[in-house]
Amino acid sequence: MPSANSELFRLPEAAVGILLILPAILLLLSLTLYPVLYGVWISFFNKHSFFPQQTFIGFDNYISLLRDPEFWASVWRGTVYALSTIALQIILGVAAALLLNEVFPGRNILRGIVIFPYVVPTVVAVIIWKWLLNSQFGLVNYLIEKAGLVDQPISFMGKDWIMVSLIIVSVWQFFPFVVIGVLARLQTIPDELYDAAKVDGGNAWQRFVYVTLPQLKSVLFVIVLLRSIWMFTKFDTPWLMIQGGGAETYIRTLPIYTYMRTFAYYEAGLGSAMAVVMFLALAGAAVLYFRIWRREENL
Amino acid sequence: MHMSRMVALATALTVGIAAPALAQDKLVRVWHTETEPQTIKAFNDLARRFEAKNPGIKIEAEGLAWTDLEGKIMASLAAGSPPELSHGQPITCTALQSKDLLNPLDEVVKAIGEDNIWEQVKRVCNVGGKQFGLVHAAGTSLLIYRKDMADKAGLKPPKTWNDFLANAKALTQSTKGDGKIDIYGITLPGDNLFINILMGELIKSNGGALFDKNNKPLFTDQKMIEVLEFWRELVKYAPPGWEGDGYLQTFQNLYGQKAAMMFQGYGRGAGLIEKFAPKEKANDKTFDVWSKPVGPSGKEPGVQVDEEPWMLFKDAKHQKEAIEFLKFFYQDDNYLEYVSTVPIHLFPITKSLRASPKYQNLEMIQRWKGWIEVQQGYLDKDQGKPTLVVDWSDMTEKPYLLEVLGSGIVRDMVMDVVLEKWEPKRAADKAQRRLEDLLRSKGYLKG
């Protein structure tokens, strides 16, 4: 029989629930919200990255970065990199998923192999590709020279090719993500839709355009959104591409420049301002993307 | 069992198990930049011997890549847990000393014997007569060239930059006779660190400076313009896409028969040549060194000395033990074991070891004597300085050189000229503005 005291301290069920999830909420907030808010806070300071030196300067960091030509150049490079890799990942990913959705011997093994680039650690992937693309000993140069496509080896890490090399490596690395999403959706499209299209005289291309693509729309929406966020903020692949030599200037995307400002110039305030701008730009793009999507859906 | 007894028992067990472990070892963490396997092994062997002689002290050594080092040091300082000892660029050492983060290593200097240390080395990170950084080993940059090819072409050692360009042109060849160039006159690195190193060297060789006494950048000075003009000419004889080459790739170009000269070579290259060049060419008859040439406004060559100092961090826990370890490290036999892993690059800082027959008779020293003599000449004539240090006073008066290096502004300027085909004056103007902004934001430049 409960005592009078325990009756007195009995909490409402909802309050107990809140109390139980409170530690998890606090943990999540301290690990996510606090760093973000702290980042926004220090973007208003002239702050050394490691030493306790800081002066409040209001919006000066934002003004100076908007006037910085290197900032705009890095935004441009980042946009070129992100848009081209996203487009190529989608094209290659959808094509591979369509192929892997067909029935043929060895399909399951091939499905496993296609996922391989996505599970290889980035550092390993970049080292392998840098070795393959080496201008002196690389397999790629050997093959294209042997095939008579070029007279001289191509310097894939030089000014003219480094962005292309980066895009190739990134597409190779991340297209399996598209394959997984699209293949999963393809397997749930009812055969009856294709049968009906066939009865109506639709050829393979028409079946793809009028049956498959509309069915893939929702999954492609999510994939494009996620891949856009990840490719615009991609740091490790371009960073590793320029380690130990490389025309860094030509693939200095916004995340790389943000890192440099923070950890090479030791300007944590300015680096944070750049990160805030990047966050706002992405959030804005995401909102716009959702609106356009909703309008399309209504149509 | 009652709850309070259980807690007491658990606490006693935890303390009982942990206490002896905690009391057992004083951990001395050491970060260094020698990543060649034989050097890591020698260093670890040395650490184990020290531990055997000094029970209760444990040495935890970690070899770090250059690109990771400065960031890791800074992060550890910010976190309040730096290692006891670390290598660093000389300019890192002075930057940290200026913020009062280092303790002097005078006790180690005393143990070695002040007169036993080369003068050049004592100038590195020496502030107010105190040695805040003590170089682990020193090696100068070298102009390495293909002697066999130069002899065949009748080339003479270049005295001036123009001589050097003429040699580079002559050594850019189509060896198969099909008109396709398959060996280039020069191999150059395109990464930020080495472009900064080369800039420091060239401006010294041209009698110029990077900053004046008031910290104003001197990038629009005529001497800098001449450096950029020289760079623009130089890359004409470099393999296409040279800007994508890092330090090791430039060695690859040299021993892989793709380039005939290497302006930013180092003694470490001798080992790489012995390991990777065709057997009949892996010697100093094929790969020799010239003294570096002088710019149109300069009087004597300038080279970079690769001489990372040991730094002892003020916030580290086991200062005394770290000092004892360094004393042990520099003892002749131990030190010999370390430097002999890359003997043409890791010049000992002690006169006693450098003069000792044990060192002199190392097989590799015998095989690459010419390379050693050229380095010795640079050091004796005080023509070698650390990265971006043009005058020794820069060491103490310009604690911002680390930020200049990290910013990549020098590299961008060079790339604007050699790749974007900007006029040197325009690129220099842009770099000048960027540097002034940088130094102003950090309070080093007024107005």
3-state secondary structure of A233: coil
Same domain, B42 and B159: no
- Does the pLDDT of residue A9 top 90, yes or no? no
Q: Is residue B350 part of a domain?
A: yes
DSSP assignment of A110-176 equals: HHHHHHHHHHS-HHHHHHHHHHHT-TTT-HHHHHHHHTTS-SS---TTSTTTHHHHHHHHHHHHHHH
For residues B420 and B338, is the Cβ–Cβ distance under 8 A?
A: no
3-state secondary structure of B332: helix
Same domain, B53 and B110: yes
Per-residue pLDDT band at B244 (split at 50, 70, 90): confident
Same domain, B296 and B164: yes
pLDDT, tens digit, for every residue of B127-175? 999 999 999 999 999 999 999 999 999 999 999 999 999 999 999 999 8
Nearest-Cα distance to chain A for B49, in Å, is 34
- Does the pLDDT of residue B4 top 80, yes or no? no
Name the residue facing B244 among A137, A247, A263 (closest C-beta): A247
Q: What is the mean pLDDT of residues A270-292?
A: 93
Same domain, B200 and B179: yes
Q: CB neighbours of A79 closer than 8 A, spacing ≥ 6?
A: A232
Same domain, B130 and B200: no
DSSP class of A189: S
What's the angle, vertex CA B126, arms to CA B125 and CA B130, rounded to 5?
130
Output the pLDDT for position A243.
77
> A222-244 burial by CB neighbour count: b if 16+ within 10 A, else e?
ebbeebbeebbbbeebbbbbbbb
pLDDT, tens digit, for every residue of A219-233? 999 999 999 999 999
Final residue before a domain boundary, out of B367, B382, B416: B367
Q: Is B308 on the interface with A (CB under 8 A)?
A: no
Same domain, B259 and B361: no
- The residues on A that touch B, with CB distances below 8 Å, are 46, 49-51, 64, 70, 135-137, 151-152, 154-162, 242-249, 260, 263-267
- Rounded CA-CA distance A79/B428 in Å is 28
Q: Is residue B385 part of a domain?
A: no
- Rounded CA-CA distance A189/A96 in Å is 17
pLDDT, tens digit, for every residue of B62-88? 988 776 788 888 888 888 899 999 999
Q: Is residue B421 part of a domain?
A: yes
Tell me the CATH number at B118. 3.40.190.10
Same domain, B160 and B270: yes
- Does the pLDDT of residue A196 top 70, yes or no? yes
- Rounded CA-CA distance B325/B195 in Å is 35
Q: Is residue B45 part of a domain?
A: yes
- Rounded CA-CA distance A64/A45 in Å is 12
DSSP assignment of B173-221 equals: B-TTSSS---BBS-B---SHHHHHHHHHHHHHHTT--SB-TT--B-TTS
Nearest-Cα distance to chain B for A201, in Å, is 54
- Rounded CA-CA distance A217/B162 in Å is 65
What structural domains and CATH numbers belong to chain A?
A: 60-298 (1.10.3720.10)
Nearest-Cα distance to chain B for A24, in Å, is 26
* CB proximity under 8 Å: B 407-436 to A: 407-408, 411-412, 415, 419
Same domain, B313 and B235: no
Q: Is residue B381 part of a domain?
A: no
Q: What is the residue type of A217? A: K
Please give the backbone phi and psi of residue A64, each rounded to the nearest 5 degrees, phi first: -70, -35
Q: Name the residue of chain B whose CA is nearest to A251's CA.
A: B244
Between the two ends of chain A, the Cα-to-Cα distance in Å is: 64
Nearest-Cα distance to chain A for B213, in Å, is 22
Same domain, B199 and B83: no
Same domain, B298 and B352: no
Q: Is the pTM of this model over 0.90?
A: no
Total domains in the fold of chain B: 2
Q: Is B98 on the interface with A (CB under 8 A)?
A: no
The distance from CA A212 to its chain's CA centroid, rounded to whole angstroms, is 25
Contact A161 B241 (CB under 8 A): yes
Chain A hits for B441, Cβ within 8 Å: 46, 267
Mean pLDDT estimate for chain B: 91
Same domain, B240 and B127: no
Chain B hits for A157, Cβ within 8 Å: 241, 244-245
- Rounded CA-CA distance A140/A130 in Å is 10
Instruction: Report which of A252, A243, A278 is spatially closest to residue A77, judged by C-alpha positions.
Output: A252
Contact B67 A246 (CB under 8 A): no
Q: Is residue B379 part of a domain?
A: no
Same domain, B47 and B102: yes
Nearest-Cα distance to chain B for A88, in Å, is 25
Q: What is the mean pLDDT of residues B248-275?
A: 93
Q: Is residue B330 part of a domain?
A: yes
pLDDT, tens digit, for every residue of B309-354? 999 999 999 999 999 999 999 999 999 999 999 999 999 999 999 9
Strands B309-313 and B102-103: antiparallel
Q: Is residue B249 part of a domain?
A: yes
Q: Which domain holds residue B215?
A: 140-304+392-441
